[in-house]
Structure 1
Amino acid sequence: MIEKEEINFESTVLVGIVTQNQPEDKLNEYLDELEFLTITAGGEVKKRFMQKMDKPNPKTFIGTGKLEQIMEFVKENQITTVIFDDELTPAQQKNLSKLIDVKVLDRTNLILDIFAQRAQTSYARTQVELAQNQYLLPRLSGMWTHLERQRGGIGMRGPGETEIETDRRIVRDRISLLKDKLATIDRQMAVQRGNRGAMVRVALVGYTNVGKSTLMNAIGKSDVFVENKLFATLDTTVRKVVIKNLPFLLTDTVGFIRKLPTQLVESFKSTLDEVREADILLHVVDISHPEFEDHIASVNQILKEIEADDKPTIMVFNKIDNYTHEVIAEDDLMTERTTKHYSLEEWKETWMAKVGSNNALFISATNKENFDEFRHKVYDLVREIHISRFPYNNFLYPEWEDVIEMEEEDDENED
């Protein structure tokens, strides 16, 4: 549970729909994640609203009856923000803002807001601003209608439409400017990547909040920001790491998420280039999360979209210190045994152990549990690629066992 700081949290409600493609249990998972996103952004969830529908209402996303319930709850409980789990069309957002009379956001808008809060460097801020402007452009009409209602309709109609067109031109020009700025930075970063030489590149990838930055700190002895919130790290961090006298480059990248906004995929192209150009991927998974298999599928889908799904990959199942499972009593003959009842040892006997030619590890980055095995596995794969790249220099890097003996001797000397 996240400890709330002494700040004023916005009162919010969450809204989602149950469809044939999104059953109730799946929606509850998405709403759990949406609540975590809301808390990360500085909100407090007062209630969730769900409705079963064949497909979203094209005008208001949800049905009339459910909308009236939400409006009544918002008014009685002084709710300031209503957040929808799926991306709303400009028309839906415009209509809902009119009817509910409070701030209406969707998942995309919420994620963009978190990214805006988290962006630290000029480069990250530029990426986020581009994504925000791309999201904003088709919604300017709805925003002006909202202002028109606040200020009154008389005298606002003509100038309002003119102002919308002016704003559209401003936003389009800003998008063009930001794209040019990012293109310039992209070229600079491509040169930087080229200047790193032929060192083997290893990239940490995974769902958001799975412990990538903690693992980066543990391996590279760096000071990457770590927090138990979604998207704690936006900026790409590259560190030179040496394991058993074999150097390589380790990159920490932005976390992925289900329903990742397309605007972010486009604007964070250079961050994803670090993944595309890596020689090895360390796919970090939070095994203590009940939906970790869905997280794996989401990350794999994004890797496929950016054409990085064919790289040598080590699956790193992290947070084994937090893993728990439900236990069925011996006399319980009614409960069906599912994966939620698997112990950690049982998981290790499933498909996990066979991922990528047995390239699967179970560790705790916080407690450095099973770190020797982790370092061994990473070393072997890095060394394999290094030798293929420099076939005549492999004498520089002795076998793992020899180095372990050397290190143990050093430890004894230190004692």
Structure 2
Amino acid sequence: MTDTTHTENADETPVDPVERVLAHAESRSGVHVFGAAQALQSQSTVSYGDSDGDQWDREERAALRRVPGLSTELEDVTEVEYRQLRLENVVLVGVYPQGSQSDAENSIRELAALAETAGAVVLDGVLQRRPHPDPATYIGRGKAAELRDLVAAVGADTVIADTELAPSQRRALEDVVKVKVIDRTTVILDIFSQHAKSREGKAQVELAQLEYLLPRLRGWGDSMSRQAGGQVGAGGAGMGSRGPGETKIELDRRRIRTKMAQLRRQLRDFAPAREAKRSERKRNTIPSVAIAGYTNAGKSSLLNRLTSAGVLVENALFATLDATVRRAEAAVGRVYTLTDTVGFVRNLPHQLVEAFRSTLEEVGQADVLVHVVDASHPDPAAQLATVRDVMGDVGARSTREIVVFNKADLVDDDDRLVLRGLEPDALFVSSRSGEGVDELRAVIEQALPLPAIEVRALVPYDRGDLVNAVHESGHIVSTSHEEGGTAVHAHVGEKLAAELAPFAL
């Protein structure tokens, strides 16, 4: 196998692993080869400031610890070398119809970033133009043979297809290229399984993985079933079908279905506690603001900049899987919540949308939606469309939306004009430098909905707790200090209105 370890001279600038896509490839008939991947932010522009809070999770996630006394290899292998030896070397492959070359290139660059996030080294990537994917081998048997030669030339051990392959396509392609073949959905599920931390997040990921695995179990199917039995006329399969019981694959399927049912019950059990917290916030008229957007757009960085929340920030896709709710306070003292949510990606597997529906409820039931877009991404319009499609699925289409172009420090004035054409009312923000954060905070505060009940009351000075509650959960129109107490004109919720009723003017 060709040695694929990346070496650099001391005086050379280090190369981002994602930038090595297609470093060794040559153009072939019917196969399109393209340049560097751009889905991840350049490492030279990544920084973690004081506003991000403590970032212990990022260090823990990146750590790889050796267990002394277990290795049968050379004793002087360093930890870094040990990690590099076990990274999968992958080649990417995609199919696109005529006229969609640019979209296909952006999609496979994103797949390169997904593979890097999952822990692979991307050696090469190819695209084939054809009206429809081949139903047998995805790219056709001839191009599959060319792919086999490319895989052997660069020393790859895995091929990743930029789609969700049918089980038969994956097996047929594996038979030709002679290495493991996986698809885009498998990579996304693998990243989710690595990054899930909470019990609910882990259960959601496991459910999605089992839903994906169930139809892909290999076996003989009904023709070799040992469960049939009985006479043909009585609904059985007749002679030769009366066996001792379940086959191995039937047993596996039953266990998977049983486990899926357990996970669904477990996820339902999480719902009451989450709903109770949400109801308490509504009862106290605390508005909720959800931060949604494409993966790696900088949502967690923005939450940290707005609240110093200390949420994990990493230059990786799907770094955040568990919804994080943080308290924020408006300039006038009104309290509201900011929620960091899981990111979206093009062709997000439907299993994940279903499994993470409880997490996405935070988006659907928010009062205000901060839609974060990566200003430096090569195709921001596709990001906007993808996120809005998913938001429509979870019932957030009518929610007040504030579009924010994050990473504004990475784009020039010409790029800003193009982005302004996409979204004329959007804000330009940089979580890294702080540009536009104060303006965003002001726009969010203006967008918060007013509580339902308008009150005018003269609150005695010994009931300062009520005035403080109005500041926190209500919207104050005016206050003045009178002889008998504090005169308050405000919009408040039902609970607080009832407490203020004895002092109404």
Match of 1:353 in 2: 424
Distance 1:203 1:174 in 2: 32
- Residue number among 269, 275, 293 corresponding to 1:190 in the alignment: 275
- Residue number among 356, 360, 365 corresponding to 1:277 in the alignment: 365
Match of 1:124 in 2: 201
Deviation at 1:345, TM superposition (A): 4.6
When normalised by structure 1's length, the TM-score is 0.82
Distance 2:191 2:276 in 1: 30
Matched, 1:363 2:451: no
How do residues 327-406 of structure 1 correspond to structure 2 at under 5 angstroms? 342-345=414-417, 347-348=419-420, 350-354=421-425, 360-382=426-448, 385=449, 387-392=450-455, 397=475
Match of 1:223 in 2: 310
- Residue number among 77, 84, 105 corresponding to 2:154 in the alignment: 77
Deviation at 1:365, TM superposition (A): 1.4
Match of 2:123 in 1: 46
Match of 2:95 in 1: 17
Deviation at 1:31, TM superposition (A): 0.6
Q: Is residue 94–residue 142 contact of structure 1 (8 Å, CA) maintained in 2? A: no
Q: Is residue 37–residue 230 contact of structure 1 (8 Å, CA) maintained in 2? A: yes
Distance 2:442 2:453 in 1: 20
Question: Structure 1 stretches of 5 or more lacking a match?
Answer: 145-157, 326-341, 355-359, 401-415
Match of 2:168, SS state, is: helix
The code of the aligned residue for 1:15 comes to V
Q: 1:104 to 1:390 in 2, by over 3 A?
A: farther
Q: Is residue 288–residue 324 contact of structure 1 (8 Å, CA) maintained in 2? A: no
Distance 1:289 1:269 in 2: 27
Distance 2:182 2:220 in 1: 12
Distance 1:272 1:219 in 2: 21
Matched, 1:207 2:285: no
How do residues 213-252 of structure 1 correspond to structure 2 at under 5 angstroms? 213-244=300-331, 245-252=333-340
- Residue number among 163, 169, 172 corresponding to 1:86 in the alignment: 163
Distance 2:220 2:475 in 1: 62
Deviation at 1:376, TM superposition (A): 1.2
More deviation, 94-103/309-318: 94-103
Q: 1:74 to 1:240 in 2, by over 3 A?
A: same
Q: 1:99 to 1:143 in 2, by over 3 A?
A: farther
Q: Is residue 135–residue 263 contact of structure 1 (8 Å, CA) maintained in 2? A: yes
Structure 1 residues 241-269: Cα deviation after superposition (integer angstroms, max 9, x where no partner): 10211100110000000000000000001
Question: Structure 2 stretches of 5 or more lacking a match?
Answer: 1-15, 17-41, 44-61, 64-79, 222-242, 457-469, 479-505
More deviation, 71-80/264-273: 71-80
Deviation at 1:66, TM superposition (A): 0.9
Report how many residues are paired. 361
Match of 1:154 in 2: none
More deviation, 253-262/215-224: 215-224
Distance 1:207 1:143 in 2: 41
Match of 1:113 in 2: 190
Q: 1:164 to 1:286 in 2, by over 3 A?
A: same
Q: Is residue 91–residue 142 contact of structure 1 (8 Å, CA) maintained in 2? A: no
Q: Is residue 16–residue 27 contact of structure 1 (8 Å, CA) maintained in 2? A: yes
Q: Is residue 90–residue 142 contact of structure 1 (8 Å, CA) maintained in 2? A: no
Deviation at 1:397, TM superposition (A): 4.4
Q: 1:108 to 1:343 in 2, by over 3 A?
A: closer
Deviation at 1:399, TM superposition (A): 7.0
Distance 1:59 1:351 in 2: 40
Larger radius of gyration: 2
Match of 2:399 in 1: 311
Distance 1:288 1:318 in 2: 8
Distance 2:127 2:422 in 1: 35
When normalised by structure 2's length, the TM-score is 0.68
Match of 1:102 in 2: 179
Q: Is residue 451–residue 475 contact of structure 2 (8 Å, CA) maintained in 1? A: no
Deviation at 1:59, TM superposition (A): 1.2
Matched, 1:179 2:264: yes
Question: What percent identity do the matched residue pairs reach?
Answer: 39
More helix by share: 1
Q: Is residue 19–residue 52 contact of structure 1 (8 Å, CA) maintained in 2? A: yes
Q: 1:61 to 1:143 in 2, by over 3 A?
A: farther
Distance 1:101 1:391 in 2: 72
Deviation at 1:142, TM superposition (A): 6.6
The code of the aligned residue for 2:353 comes to V
Q: Is residue 306–residue 437 contact of structure 2 (8 Å, CA) maintained in 1? A: no
Distance 1:184 1:305 in 2: 23
Matched, 1:163 2:248: yes
The code of the aligned residue for 2:296 comes to N
Q: Is residue 196–residue 322 contact of structure 2 (8 Å, CA) maintained in 1? A: yes
The code of the aligned residue for 1:316 comes to V
Q: 1:66 to 1:345 in 2, by over 3 A?
A: closer
Distance 1:232 1:267 in 2: 17
Match of 2:143 in 1: 66
The code of the aligned residue for 2:197 comes to Q
Match of 2:75 in 1: none
